[in-house]
Structure 1
Amino acid sequence: MKSLDHAALDCLIALIDEGNFDRAALRLSITQSAVSQRLRALEVQIGQPLIVRSRPLRVTSAGQVLLRHARQLQALRADVALELGETLPSKDRVAIAVNADSLATWVLPALQPVVDSGISLELIVDDQDFTHDWLREGRVLGCVSTVNTALRGCRLSALGTMRYVAVASPKLVRQQLEARPVLQAGHLGRVPFVVFNRKDDVQAQWVGQALGVNEPRLLQRYVPSSEAYVRAVECGWGIGVAAWPLVAHKIETGSLLRLHPDVHIDVDLFWHQWKLTADPSAGPAGSGLPSSVLDRIGQALASGALDLSASPRERAGD
């Protein structure tokens, strides 16, 4: 295959990230016509369509392959710029996918040194069971995921364990659970649960472990924000199964009560990143030098993810 035009590959990234031609052109500071021409030239060279012209734009299977290649080139350019002490171009953002609870607790402090070093990040948020899909599709260069198997051409490292516990407001416990922080199977038909989104199944996992009820049919109220989720539980919207770092202080102060303190769900988190090579034409599975940008991100996340599962008091009680 002939060498691919880097400017056209940048167009592909911009189109997928921005979702349409107008915003991609604005991001790249070129005309919409120029974006179309570069994409068309790339599709002619490959001999396959790369983008589905929908709203928003979607990448084809061939486009996913080139998208991964394009992002790897982008990260390698970032490596060179950092080593030379140059400022990274604003369009060269390193995209990684993280889960919402990690973003709301430990990810931002962990990544602060990376941002301070001049690396421009784009954080994509999805459920921890689905962030891996973004990596496989080439839409990000790394992800925090529950998947413990590396894709071909990727590296995997363990980050830590996020503990989830069931909590409810004193008002809900008083009114719905007869003033006792103990949920029983008979309550499931009338006591609502607060759920992050339709991908979220940690509530069902907790009910299965606490009550032995398989595939429970729960009354659900959806709140797709980690911080707002906890506030909704505090307001009595329902029982929540929340990440320990988000609710530990509220349990200590009594604004939330923990249900079945002996029951918790531990979710192991892993960092996945593409193995980038000094020669991008070798492909993602090449054995060249790893990207220092992704290594910095992975090392920062590994340092920031220590002791996620519980406070010292919590661990002492296990």
Structure 2
Amino acid sequence: MNPAQLSTLLAILDEGSFEAAAAQLAITPSAVSQRIKALEKQVGRILIHRTAPPTATEAGEVLVQAARRMALLQAETDARLRERLDRVPLSIAVNADSVATWFSPVFRSVAQAGEATLRLRIEDEAHTLNLLRRGDVMGAVTRESQPVSGCDSLSLGVMHYRAVGTAELRDAFRLDNGELDWAAMPALRFGPRDALQDEDLHGRVQSATLGQRRISNIPSSEAFVKACCAGLGWALVPELQCCPLVESGELVCLDDEVLSVELHWQRWRLESRLLEGLTRAVVDAAHQVLEQKD
């Protein structure tokens, strides 16, 4: 049986008319009538006496009893599920740069909630949404503003990245015309799915030479910056991390370009006190540090 049709049958009898049922279900009276006709066609019986108020036929009474049992079971299941959701770990996906820069206040907020545990998946912000689509996580920091089906999307702000390296590395790969040899200069990537590095190279390196570059993969945000300071390669680093190092002289900006990435928080559209609290913590932490869009 179609649950929507059964709930419509109950609404008509409980509310006393097709019109009142439509208002209660937030659909049109025509849709109510169509659902009942479809249900009657399916069972081959008239289910409702079209009187004022409408009443159930014998066949209708059988379905009404079944529908009420299903409604009760659904209500009990929803209640138990909400209880369980307030106890299960909060699984979320966050990019490493966010964890290293603005995300840490979220840990304190979850700790203060007292009931939650956190399961953090580190993934590039261009790919965290895949984990959300598959249902692997309840929330994700992502570049995508368009919400996944069944999710809400909130703007977090903008992260700015600069291409940085040591002065020695810059000087070693400076061409005669003063420009940098981006194709020959060794580079750092967080991992094989580090899309930011590739985006930043558009206009700097010809596509024919991309496969010939020397690249070191450093899948740790702290180690990534240390490797850059050691001269292992140039890197695309958040301004929040690299600005103090540039000021101290450990690193230099290799050009004036700034890559800006808009971040969003997408989360399941689900009634859960802890998930609501987590969302507030993520948004508050981001808004305190990240530049906000106009």
Quickly name the TM-score band, shorter chain normalised: 0.5 to 0.7
Is 1:157 equivalent to 2:164 in the alignment?
A: no
Specify the alignment match of 1:243 in structure 2: 238
Is the alpha carbon distance of 1:169 and 1:76 closer, same or farther for their aligned partners in structure 2, counting shifts above 3 Å?
Answer: farther
Partner of 1:177: 174
Contact 1:165–1:241 at 8 Å: present in 2 too? yes
* Equivalent residues in 2 for 1:190-229, closer than 5 Å: 190-208=184-202, 211=204, 213=206, 217=210, 218-229=213-224
Cα RMSD for the two superposed structures: 2.7
Q: Distance in 1 between matches of 2:152 and 2:133?
A: 13
Partner of 1:54: none
Is 1:120 equivalent to 2:125 in the alignment? no
The answer to whether the Cα contact below 8 Å between 1:160 and 1:268 also exists between their aligned partners in 2 is yes
Pick one of 270, 289, 296 that aligns with 2:264: 270
Q: Distance in 2 between matches of 1:73 and 1:258?
A: 55
Structure 1: how far apart are the matches of 2:234 and 2:194?
14
Aligned ranges for residues 66-77 of structure 1 at < 5 Å? Answer: 76-77=83-84
Comparing 104-113 with 123-132, which one deviates more in the overlay? 104-113
Normalising by structure 1, we get a TM-score of: 0.61
Map residues 80-95 of structure 1 onto 2, 5 A cutoff.
88=87, 92-95=88-91
1:295 corresponds to which residue? 276
Q: Which runs of 5+ in 2 are unaligned?
A: 2-76
1:227–1:173 Cα change, 3 Å: same
- The alpha-carbon distance between structure 1 residues 309 and 108, as it changes in their structure 2 partners (threshold 3 A), is closer
Against the structure 1 CA distance between its residues 190 and 121, is the aligned structure 2 distance closer, same or farther, given a 3 Å change threshold?
A: same
The answer on whether the counterparts of 2:85 and 2:272 sit within 8 Å (CA) in structure 1 is no
Partner of 1:44: none
Aligned partner of 2:214: which letter? Answer: L
Deviation at 1:309, TM superposition (A): 5.0
Q: Which residue of 2 aligns with 1:254?
A: 249
* Selected match of 2:287 from 296, 306, 313: 306
Residue identity opposite 1:272 in structure 2: Q
Query: CA 1:135/1:264 → structure 2, altered by over 3 Å: closer, same or farther?
Result: same
Q: 1:78 to 1:111 in 2, by over 3 A?
A: same
Give 5+ residue unaligned stretches, structure 1.
2-69, 80-87, 277-289, 311-318
Contact 1:208 1:216 (8 Å CA) reproduced: no
Native 8 Å contact 1:244 1:309 kept in 2: no
Q: Does 1:104 align with 2:100?
A: yes
Q: Indicate conservation of the 8 Å contact 2:191/2:218, yes or no.
A: yes
**C-alpha distance 249-295 of structure 1, shift in aligned 2 (>3 A):** same
**Paired residues of 1:163 and 1:308 also in contact (CA < 8 A):** no
Question: What is the letter of the counterpart of residue 229 of structure 1?
Answer: F
- Secondary structure of the structure 1 residue equivalent to 2:261: strand
Q: State, as a whole percentage, how many aligned pairs show the same letter.
A: 29
Q: Distance in 2 between matches of 1:251 and 1:179?
A: 25
Cα distance, 1:150–1:179 mapped onto 2, change above 3 Å: same
Work out whether residues 156 and 270 of structure 1, in 8 Å CA contact, stay in contact via their aligned partners in 2: yes
Superposed displacement of residue 114, structure 1: 2.1
Looking at structure 1, the residues matched to 89 and 289 of structure 2 have their Cα atoms a distance apart, in angstroms, of: 28
TM-score (norm 2): 0.65
TM-aligned CA distance change 1:304 to 1:134, over 3 Å: same
Partner residue of 1:21? none
Structure ID, larger Rg:
2
CA distance in 2 between partners of 1:142 and 1:241 (Å) = 26
Cα drift, residue 256 of structure 1: 0.5
Decide whether the 8 Å contact of 1:230 with 1:242 is kept in 2: yes
- In structure 2, do the counterparts of structure 1 residues 201 and 78 end up closer, same or farther at CA, with 3 Å as the change threshold? closer
Deviation of the 1:112 alpha carbon: 1.2
Confirm or deny: 8 A CA contact 2:161 2:260 kept in the other structure: yes
3-state secondary structure, aligned to 2:103: helix
Contact (CA 8 Å) 2:102, 2:285: kept in 1 or not?
yes
Separation in 1, partners of 2:242, 2:146: 30
Structure 1 residues 112-149: Cα deviation after superposition (integer angstroms, max 9, x where no partner) = 11221112111111111111111111111111111221
